Structure 1
Amino acid sequence: MRKELKSFIKHTRLAYNIYYVLGSLGLRVLKYIVRTDSQLILFVSYSGKKYEDSPRVIFESMLFDERFKNYRLVWAFEEPANFNVERARKVKIDTLQYFLIALKARCWITNVAMERGLSFKGRRTFYFNTWHGSPIKKIGSDVNIENGAFQTNLKQFPLDVMLAQSEYDAAIYRRVFNLPAHVVKIEGFPRNDYLLNYEKNKLGQIRTALKIPANKKVILYAPTFREYVADADGNYLMTPPLDLMSCEQKLSNDYVILIKAHSAIGQSLKLKNNGFVYDVSDYTDLNELLIISDILISDYSSIFFDYSLLRRPMICFGYDYYEFIEKRGCYIDLKREFSESFVESEEELIRLLLTMDYERLIKQSEKIQEKFVQCTKNATCNSLRIIWDNIK
C-alpha cells in the first residue's frame, strides 16, 4: 500500500501538488520548533534505495577522520533492515522520524535530493549534494514531464554545495537547478577517486568472488532507465532487444557479460547466472564492477564518463536512440562522440565485439575523458574539507 501511494503521488500531478503544498507548509512550521543538532549528519543515497556512491565514500572516510569523531551519523533507507552500516544509526525514509531528523541535522549529504519532493530545509542545515553522475540524458527542468518523468515543484534548490567533474556538467547544474555559480564546485566525485587509485590485486579477488573464469574478458552492460517504459504500477522496466542465448553462442568463448540494472528499475531482471551471464544489479560496489570490466556497454548513462577514467573501450548501444532523444533528450551527440562504437542492434553489437580494434576504442575513451571529465583525484578529501569548514 505504501509503495502504491508513493507511486500515485509521484505520477498524479494533482495529488503531488496537494502533497507538496501541505507537506512543505507543515515542515516549514515544524522547523521553528525543532532545534538543530550541531553534531548530526544525515546521509541518503539514491533516494534511500542504496548504500553506495559518493555519500558512502564520504561517510566511510568520516569514520577515520578525527574532525568528525564526535558527530552522530544517520543513514536513511527505504528498507533499513536490508543494510548493515557500521557505526551509524538507520532510519526509514519518508517517515515522520526521517523528516524530524532531516530538520535537526546540521548537514545533509546525498547524491539525489533530501526533500522527498517537498520544499524545506533545517534552519542551520548545510546541504551538500554530490549528485550521481555527469549527465548525458537531460535532467531537472530540462526534462519533459509529459513522458512520465517526475519533476519537483521546486524552482530553486536550496543547496549549499553541489559537486561537478567539469565545466560541462557544472553549467548544466547551474541552469537546471537554478543554482548560483558559487554553489557548484568542480572537485570531481568522491566515488571516482577509487578508479584512479585502486589496488591491482583487487581485480583477481573480485573476479574470484563473482566466479568469473580467469581466461575470459569481462563486458559490463549498464544501461540507464526509460521513464516511459513502465508497468501498470509505474515501475520502470529494463527491456533491451538482446537475445542472451544468441549472445552466449557467439561470444562465450572469449567473454562473460555482467548486467547491472539502473537503481530506478523497479523489478528484478530474473536472470540466472550461468557462467556467461551474471546479474550484478544488487552488487553494492559499482566501482568494483568497473575496474574488473574490460569493456563497458551502456546507452545514455553517465557511467560512460566515470569509466572513461580507466581509458578502456566503451560501446554506446543506442537501440532506441531516436525515440530516447524525442522523449527524454541528451546533452551531447552520442553518435559523434562514439563514432567508433555506436551501435543500434544486437547484430551490430556482436559484430563490433568480435572485430574490435581495442586501441582505437581506447583512444576514443581518452578523448571523451579529456573533454568531459576534469578530476583532481582528491575529491573525497576536498569534500571533507568543505563540509568541515562549513559545519564546525
Structure 2
Amino acid sequence: MLLESIKIRDINPSLIYGDIKNKTRKPGLIYRIFRSIVFQLLYYLFHVFPVNPRRILFASDSRVEIGGNLKFVYEEMVNRKIDYDYKFMFKENSFVKKTVIEIVKLAYYCATSKSILIEENYPMISPLKIRKKADLIQLWHGAGAFKKFGYSRLGQPGGPKVNSKDHRNYTKAVVSTKNVATHYAESFDIEKDRIYPLGIPRTDIFFDEEYKEQKRQELYEKYPFLKDRKVILFAPTFRGRGRKEAHYPIEYLDFEKLYNNLKDEYVFLFKLHFIILNKVTIPYQYSDFFYDFTDYREVNDLLLIADILITDYSSICFEFSLLDKPMLFFAYDVEEYISKRGFYYEYQSFIPGNLVKTTNELVEKIVNKDFAEEKIKPFRDYFFDDLDGKASQRVVDLILLGREISIPVLDNVNSIKGISRDY
C-alpha cells in the first residue's frame, strides 16, 4: 500500500532550479491562438496545393538539428542518392516559441509532404487530419516496450485525457518487434495494422563495426580519461510529471562510497535525461572519477565506450542489450514508481540485470562482477526481430518508397504471418 501526504505537495523543480533548459514562460493569448487555430486553418488552406509525392518533412520539437531515428533514415536516403525534396523543422523544445514564418512553413510542409516523419509526440501536428495521399509516420525514440505511456495510462496521474488528440492520427508507426505491437497500438490508440515491426533505425550503428570503432576513437581523442579505466554510464530516466517538473534526486547516490570503492578501476559518467531541470554538482575532490555527460545528446554513442550501464526505468536498456554488456538497475523507488506509472511487464523479472536500491548494493554488485548477464540474450531476442543493422533500409524501402519487402504482418488476432505486402 502506498500512503501519500495530502498536506505536503511535491515541489515543482522548476521553482527551485529555474529555467535552466526550458523556456517555460507562458505564451501570450495571441501567440497561442496563432499556434493552434490559425496554424490548423493554414494547414487546411494549403490543401489547395497538391501533395508532393517526393517531399519528406523531418520534424521535431526536442532538437535544434536532425538526430536520432530521423537522422538515420535521412542519411540512408542520401547515401543511396534518392533525390527527394527534404524539408526540416526543428526546435529546442515545445516551450520555445516558433516565429510566425516557422508556423506558416510548418503548416505548408505538413499539407504538401508525402511523408511527415517524427519521433516523439508533436502536439501541433496531432489535431491535423492527414491527407489521403500522405503519411504521418512515428519513428518512436524508444525501442521495445517498458514503462507504460500514452493511452496505456488513461486515468492515471500524468496520463492523457480521454478526448486528447495526441498520437491518434499516425498512419504508420515503426517498432522494434512484433511482440510489442499490441502495446504501441494501445499507447497511440491506433489500429494494429498501422504498426510496422521494422526495427529502430538508430540501432543500426550497433552492427556497424567501422562506425563503432571510429566513434570510440573520436570519444577517446576528445576525452582521453576514458581510455585508462573502465567506464560506468549512469543513465536514469527523470522523475516528475513532465518537462516542467522533470528532475532526478542525485542525493540517493553516495558519491564518497562510489569513489572510494571504484575509482581505481572505473570512471563514472552521468547521462541524465535531456529534459531534467537540475544539474549534477560533482564535488571537486571526486572530479577525477565523476564526469557529467548530460549535454552529450547522442547517448547511443556513449554506449559504445561504456563497460557497465546503470539505469532504472529507461528504454536505454534495449539498445545496450545489443552490445551484450552488463547492466544494473538502480531503482530505489521501484514500488512507488510501479504504483504511479505502471509497466507492460512485471519489472523485476523483466529487467536484463540485477535490481539494486542503495549505493551499497550497487558497489557490491560491481566489485563482485555480479550482473546476471544470462538475462541479456533472451531479453534482446524478444525485443528485436532483426539483428542485422538494416532497420533504416527497411523503413526507407517499405514506408517511404513503398517497395515490397518481406516482413512479419500483424493480423487481427495478433498472430504473425511471414508474407510480402506492397504498401
| TM-score, normalised by the number of residues in structure 2 | 0.76
State the alpha-carbon separation in 2 of the partners of residues 168 and 19 from structure 1.
41
State the alpha-carbon separation in 1 of the partners of residues 354 and 73 from structure 2.
35
Residue 138 (str. 1) matches residue 140 (str. 2): no
Tell me by how many angstroms 1:156 deviates: 6.4
Alignment of 1:1-392 (within 5 A): 3-5=24-26, 22=37, 26=41, 29-33=44-48, 35-45=50-60, 47-48=62-63, 51-67=66-82, 69-78=83-92, 95-116=103-124, 118-123=126-131, 124-133=133-142, 134-143=144-153, 147-149=157-159, 153-154=164-165, 157-199=168-210, 201-202=213-214, 203-228=216-241, 234-240=244-250, 241-269=252-280, 271=282, 274-338=287-351, 341-357=354-370, 361-377=372-388, 378-390=390-402
Which residue identity lines up with residue 209 of structure 1 in the other structure? K
Q: Secondary structure at the match of 2:323?
A: coil
Tell me by how many angstroms 1:157 deviates: 1.8
**1:316 and 1:193, CA in 2 relative to 1: closer, same or farther beyond 3 A?**
same
How many pairs were matched up? 370
Tell me by how many angstroms 1:111 deviates: 1.0
Match of 1:86 in 2: none
Q: Secondary structure at the match of 2:227?
A: coil
Which residue identity lines up with residue 218 of structure 1 in the other structure? V
Residues 80-111 of structure 1 deviation map (CA, whole Å, 9 limit, x = unaligned): 9xxxxxxxxx9999734333332232211111
Is the 1:144–1:328 contact (alpha carbons within 8 Å) kept by the matching residues of 2?
no
State the alpha-carbon separation in 1 of the partners of residues 111 and 167 from structure 2.
19
Is the 1:221–1:258 contact (alpha carbons within 8 Å) kept by the matching residues of 2?
yes
Gaps of 5+ in 2: 1-21, 404-422
| TM-score, normalised by the number of residues in structure 1 | 0.82
Residues 219-251 of structure 1 deviation map (CA, whole Å, 9 limit, x = unaligned): 111111223487xxx241122411324322221
Match of 2:415 in 1: none
**1:292 and 1:340, CA in 2 relative to 1: closer, same or farther beyond 3 A?**
closer
Which residue identity lines up with residue 225 of structure 2 in the other structure? I
Q: Secondary structure at the match of 2:228?
A: coil
**1:289 and 1:313, CA in 2 relative to 1: closer, same or farther beyond 3 A?**
same
Tell me by how many angstroms 1:381 deviates: 0.6
Is the 1:108–1:114 contact (alpha carbons within 8 Å) kept by the matching residues of 2?
no
Q: Secondary structure at the match of 2:54?
A: strand
**1:375 and 1:259, CA in 2 relative to 1: closer, same or farther beyond 3 A?**
farther
**1:19 and 1:102, CA in 2 relative to 1: closer, same or farther beyond 3 A?**
same
Tell me by how many angstroms 1:184 deviates: 0.9
Tell me by how many angstroms 1:113 deviates: 3.1
**Which moves more between the two structures, 161-170 or 112-121?**
112-121
Q: Secondary structure at the match of 1:292?
A: coil
Gaps of 5+ in 1: 10-15, 81-89
Q: Secondary structure at the match of 1:223?
A: coil
Tell me by how many angstroms 1:298 deviates: 0.7
Task: Flag the structure with larger Rg.
Answer: 2
State the alpha-carbon separation in 2 of the partners of residues 91 and 106 from structure 1.
24
**1:190 and 1:25, CA in 2 relative to 1: closer, same or farther beyond 3 A?**
closer
Q: Secondary structure at the match of 2:108?
A: helix
Tell me by how many angstroms 1:22 deviates: 4.2
